[in-house]
Amino acid sequence: MFKRHPKNPIISSKDIVSSNPELKDVSSVFNPGGIQFGDKILLLLRVQNRGRETFLVKAISTDGVQFGIENEYIQINGLDKIDETVFHIYDPRITKMGDTYYVFAAMDVVGKCLLGIFKTLDFTSLEFLGFTGDEDNRNGVLFPEKIHGKYARFDRPNKMKVESGVTTGSQIWFSESEDLIHWESKEMVMEGRLHFWDEMIGAGPPPVKTEKGWLLVYHGIAMHYQPIYQVGVVLLDLDEPWKIISRGRYNILEPREMWEMVGQVPNVVFPTAMICENIDENGNANLECEVKLYYGAADTHVGLATSTIRKMIDACYA
């Protein structure tokens, strides 16, 4: 149901061109945050250099396929106000509320991964607002509107240590906040399905509102001999988004192309941005709207696949 764009992978390491030695001949570019930015599409690319250091680089496009990529990474202000050593800031997820763009990102600090929140009005720089908790957590996605008067997000607490030593998780939670910094876990939304395609899970791009419910794209990992990262979809109640209306039985995208199966981490499609340009005055995505899904492939490239909201909702019932 998702069609890969013929120009895939749409962004690769050779597309990062910079005179900054830190961005010279980089290893990989993947897991981009993305948002409609005026009449353009903006991506925040996760770029990894040969020191395995991470940078966020802005890219802008009019057609969503051909991107003009900045030759410098985006400046992040406000990190000096914290004591922790931050090793990496990565996997950004972007949500617009009013005139402000908020970015949730994973932040590796000593011994754990925390969720940080940032804001910007124009993406000339990002302002770090703070960590949104002190427990290991990842895949935070902010809703584009408040739910029952509070900011709302899905997140994925990491409670499990797997063989590689990495912490991961198998539950997506609904959390709420008065101020975007202090979050309270409210309801467990869904769990991994052992033995099937989505044994471990985490939210993908921020949820998209439709007249049928909140549409959430998520990643699921089959914990086989080697993990296989795939993409799935679930429809959630508009008023109580922790309640599932229907969850797709099948993945809707899985590693099949060589550039998805081979790379820094093999067999990974990891969705982080979903753009639907046709949103009505109630904030609902039009059912026939084309959806652009941007994803990291094998932790090495950026891929693009398209579908429609209606087909994605249908997939929730398949």
Q: Which residues bind ligand BMA (CB under 6 A)?
A: 31, 91, 229, 265, 268, 270, 296, 299
Residue 251: CB minimum distance to ligand BMA, A: 15
Instruction: Identify which of residues 23 and 200 has a Cβ nearer to ligand BMA in the complex.
Output: 200
- Burial class of residue 122 (count of CB atoms within 10 Å of its CB; 0-12, 13-18, 19+): exposed
Which residue(s) pair with 76 in the sheet? 126
Residue 111: CB minimum distance to ligand BMA, A: 16
Instruction: Identify which of residues 118 and 229 has a Cβ nearer to ligand BMA in the complex.
Output: 229
Which residue of the chain is nearest ligand BMA when measured via CB? 265
State the Cα angle at 203 between 175 and 311, rounded to 5°.
Answer: 120
Instruction: Identify which of residues 60 and 265 has a Cβ nearer to ligand BMA in the complex.
Output: 265
Q: Which amino acid is at 270?
A: F
Instruction: Identify which of residues 15 and 299 has a Cβ nearer to ligand BMA in the complex.
Output: 299
Residue 247: CB minimum distance to ligand BMA, A: 21
Instruction: Identify which of residues 31 and 307 has a Cβ nearer to ligand BMA in the complex.
Output: 31
Locate 21 and state its tokens.
């030695």
- Residue 129 CA from chain centroid, whole number: 19
Element (H, E) at 313: helix 309-317
Nearest to 64 by CA among 301, 274, 286, 298: 274
Instruction: Identify which of residues 167 and 286 has a Cβ nearer to ligand BMA in the complex.
Output: 167
Instruction: Identify which of residues 218 and 242 has a Cβ nearer to ligand BMA in the complex.
Output: 218
**SS3 assignment, position 239:** coil
Nearest to 12 by CA among 42, 51, 48: 48
Residue 171: CB minimum distance to ligand BMA, A: 15
Element (H, E) at 250: none
Residue 301: CB minimum distance to ligand BMA, A: 12
Element (H, E) at 104: strand 100-109
**Number of other residues whose CB lies within 10 A of the CB of residue 130:** 16
φ and ψ at 277, to 5 degrees? Answer: -80, -20
Spatial distance between the Cα atoms of 298 and 302, rounded to a whole number of angstroms: 9
Instruction: Identify which of residues 197 and 270 has a Cβ nearer to ligand BMA in the complex.
Output: 270
Spatial distance between the Cα atoms of 307 and 180, rounded to a whole number of angstroms: 32
Residue 25: CB minimum distance to ligand BMA, A: 21
Locate 159 and state its tokens.
């409670």
Residue 7: CB minimum distance to ligand BMA, A: 22
Spatial distance between the Cα atoms of 239 and 211, rounded to a whole number of angstroms: 11
Residue 241: CB minimum distance to ligand BMA, A: 23
DSSP tag of 70: -
